[in-house]
Amino acid sequence: MSRLPLEGITVISLEQAVAAPFATRQLADLGARVIKVERDTGDFARGYDRKVHGMSSYFVWLNRGKESIVLDLKSDDGMRTLKDLVSRADVLVQNLAPGAVERLGLGPDDALALNPRLVHVSISGYGRGGSHEQKKAYDLLIQCEAGLLSVTGTPDAPAKVGVSIADISAGMYAYTGVLTSLLQRAATGRGDVVEISMLEALGEWMSQPYFYAEYGGAPPVSSGAQHASIAPYGPFPTADGTVFFGIQNEREWATFCTGVLARPELSTDPRFSTNTLRVENRAALHEAIEEAFGGQATDEAVARLDAANIANAQLRDMRGFSAHPQLTERNRWRDVASPVGPVRSLIPPVTSREADFRMGPVPELGEHTAAILAELAERPVTAAAAAGQRTPGS
């Protein structure tokens, strides 16, 4: 195995749920040592479901390659242990409730006083300051606050995104923020304080509909699986199913009319000659397309779209995604060890010629408590610091 990019970097994470664990799992994949600090009941994401042979699908996804230590942070010994770990770490990541890390004595100023080279990372719902600072923030609620539900679903039935997109966006910015600060520290020798709010992270991803509405005079129309501002773009019925495709420019529209619909006259129809006009006349446009596709089987429609080099897709469920031929042909699946046996997982989406990645085991609660405490040479392991401790395999 070639060198891992973050070998030698130690991350302490006071994390729960999705956002922070998503960031630190990616750091672990790149070779960082990630020590996950858990209470005796564990990260509550361990209990979100029991779908992976009794383990939570969320926890399996977010926590491979980490070490789990259980500490009683209400005890003096537990706090001394945590501060020992932070004093030796490169990065501290936390997404506790607002103000909780300060009450532990590990807010940004206190933590950097303890370890001036530390990169201190906080993920919150709404950020420090402002009237919403103390407001609870869950993924769906941030989707609402960022306006995402106003552009999904239909006008009659707004729909949330089916994955934790607000958490994922915040986790991605935390991940890239850590990498940026580590590069900066290499030049300056100083640590950093990094803050990410879920609202602002998802808000960045909402910038296109914001600009559209702010300067266009009206918000995008919720259009289900259709595209709000491009047409045709979305699902269309065939004789035996549905095909999805999208047209991006006028050259593609002309090719589509000639090679797929066999109706070249539509390319110059004054109702459809530009994307703006096609959006304005979407009902008539769809009627013409559905008339042509209605007599074709899905496989035939896809073959015609492929022959014309028009982007298209099948509507796959999770079983279809799992069996996707492209992922198999590119060898993108690996088995990851876990307390319940190997779990088939996607390898990281970014691969490098020069650097490798690691997909370490999913930890059992407190699996590494004894080993980590033994590393701290300043004092012996105490019962209080190891509250709830488990040994590997227990």
Long-range contacts of 301-307 (CB under 8 A, 24+ apart): 301/238, 301/243, 301/260, 302/243, 304/259, 304/260, 305/243, 305/245, 305/260, 307/259
Tell the CATH topology of 10-206+327-375: Rossmann fold (3.40.50)
> What value does the mean pLDDT take over residues 205-226?
86
Residue 287 amino acid letter: E
Q: What is the CATH number of domain 233-315?
A: 3.30.1540.10
C-alpha 366/C-alpha 216 separation (Å) is: 54
pLDDT in tens, 114-132: 999 999 999 999 999 999 9
User: What pLDDT shows up at residue 1?
Assistant: 55
C-alpha 126/C-alpha 145 separation (Å) is: 10
pLDDT in tens, 56-85: 999 999 999 999 999 999 999 999 999 999
Q: Which of 24-33, 73-82, 83-92, 373-382 is least confident?
A: 373-382
Cα R_g (the chain), whole angstroms: 25
Domain limits, the chain: 10-206+327-375, 233-315
The tokens for 32 are 């960082």
> What value does the mean pLDDT take over residues 82-99?
96
> What value does the mean pLDDT take over residues 338-361?
94
pTM of the model: 0.87
Count of residues in the chain: 394
pLDDT band at 377 (very low <50, low <70, confident <90, very high): low
Residue tagged 């004054």 (tokens) = 270
**Annotated catalytic residue: which of 132, 227, 324, 368?**
227
The tokens for 276 are 């703006």
How many helices (H) and strands (E) would you count in the chain? 16, 11
User: What pLDDT shows up at residue 2?
Assistant: 74
User: What pLDDT shows up at residue 381?
Assistant: 41
C-alpha 295/C-alpha 313 separation (Å) is: 19
C-alpha 215/C-alpha 281 separation (Å) is: 22
User: What pLDDT shows up at residue 392?
Assistant: 35
The tokens for 350 are 């970014």
Cβ atoms of 199 and 146 closer than 8 Å: yes
Strand, coil or helix: 336: strand
User: Active-site residue 368, yes or no?
Assistant: no
